[in-house]
């Protein structure tokens, strides 16, 4: 497998708050990795560091051999944000959201060509949103919104996809659609990093998992990471039974 993401000795502070502490993480292409941790554990901060949206206080990030900013500019990384990070009132259609993924492929005039329109149409079909293409993005259901942003990453042809809580507040159909897509994309050679609170879904969805509490506590196969003694490190001793 080719190395897709390498995070080395990354630390991030927000004033007095220590968000990430000396994080080391390496992910290979062709796999789905679950990022597990309680609220405030640093999952969203780690995503934003990998995306080049936040500069760490120390440490480095390499994406397919490039630094985070260069990888983002080249379109190698796709990002599905949490719902609260998006202005759903913005007057933009679902098709336009997905077309944003083609920005790096457009010519000097930034006008979509036939290949761009075909890529967007194929991505919408893959996430089962073709009939909603002209609808304002905020009019979609929670699950449909997440699927629209997954479609953006597909249209972008990103080799690495980061999904921040993609299953939060989504319907079962969207959860199943997104999960199937992520497995298909990994089989195509993409690297998928997905944060989730749904511990029951991790073994079926993910090839590996990372337990985060401002630093990487455990990085292994899902069954190992989800052992009660490991979960207790991040969530405390009163861990709910997963059976």
Q: How many CB atoms lie within 10 A of CB 131?
A: 9
129: pLDDT strictly greater than 70: yes
Query: Which domains, ranges and CATH numbers included, belong to the chain?
Result: 1-76+160-166+189-243 (3.40.50.300), 83-158 (no CATH)
- For the ranges 105-109, 154-158, 174-178, which has the lowest average pLDDT? 105-109
How confident is the model over 142-166, as a mean pLDDT?
90
- Give the count of beta carbons closer than 10 Å to the beta carbon of residue 130: 15
List pLDDT tens digits, range 42-54: 999 999 999 888 8
Say which range, 75-84, 92-101, 163-172, 202-211, has the weakest mean pLDDT. Answer: 75-84
User: What CA–CA distance (Å, rounded) separates 63 from 56?
Assistant: 15
Per-residue model confidence as pLDDT tens digits over 59-98: 999 998 888 888 877 778 888 888 777 888 889 999 999 9
CB distance 173 to 143 below 8 Å = yes
Quote the DSSP letter at residue 207.
S
- Give which of 53, 70, 88, 60 is closest to 162, Cα–Cα: 53
**Residue 239 binned pLDDT confidence (cut-offs 50, 70, 90):** very low
Pairing of strands 31-36, 191-195: parallel
Q: Do residues 72 and 46 lie in contact, with contact meaning Cβ atoms separated by under 8 Å?
A: no
């Amino acid at each position: 497998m080719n190395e897709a993401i390498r995070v080395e000795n990354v630390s991030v502070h927000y004033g007095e708050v220590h968000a990430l502490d000396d994080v080391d993480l390496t992910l290979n292409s062709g796999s789905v990795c679950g990022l597990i941790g309680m609220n405030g554990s640093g999952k969203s901060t780690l995503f934003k560091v990998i995306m080049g949206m936040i500069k760490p206080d120390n440490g480095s990030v390499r994406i397919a051999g490039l630094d985070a900013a260069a990888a983002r500019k080249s379109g190698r990384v796709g990002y599905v944000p949490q719902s609260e990070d998006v202005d759903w009132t913005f007057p933009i259609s679902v098709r336009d959201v997905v077309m944003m993924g083609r920005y790096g492929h457009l010519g000097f005039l930034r006008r979509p060509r036939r290949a761009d329109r075909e890529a967007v149409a194929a991505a919408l079909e893959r996430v089962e949103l073709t009939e909603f293409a002209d609808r304002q993005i905020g009019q979609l259901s929670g699950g449909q919104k997440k699927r629209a942003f997954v479609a953006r990453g597909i249209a972008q042809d990103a080799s690495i996809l980061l999904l921040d809580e993609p299953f939060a507040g989504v319907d079962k159909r969207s959860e199943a659609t997104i999960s199937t897509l992520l497995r298909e994309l990994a089989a195509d050679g993409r690297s998928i990093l997905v944060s989730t609170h749904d511990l029951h879904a991790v073994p079926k969805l993910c090839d590996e998992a990372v337990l985060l509490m401002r630093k990487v506590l455990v990085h292994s196969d899902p069954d190992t990471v989800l052992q009660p003694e490991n979960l207790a490190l991040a969530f405390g001793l009163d861990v709910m039974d997963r059976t």
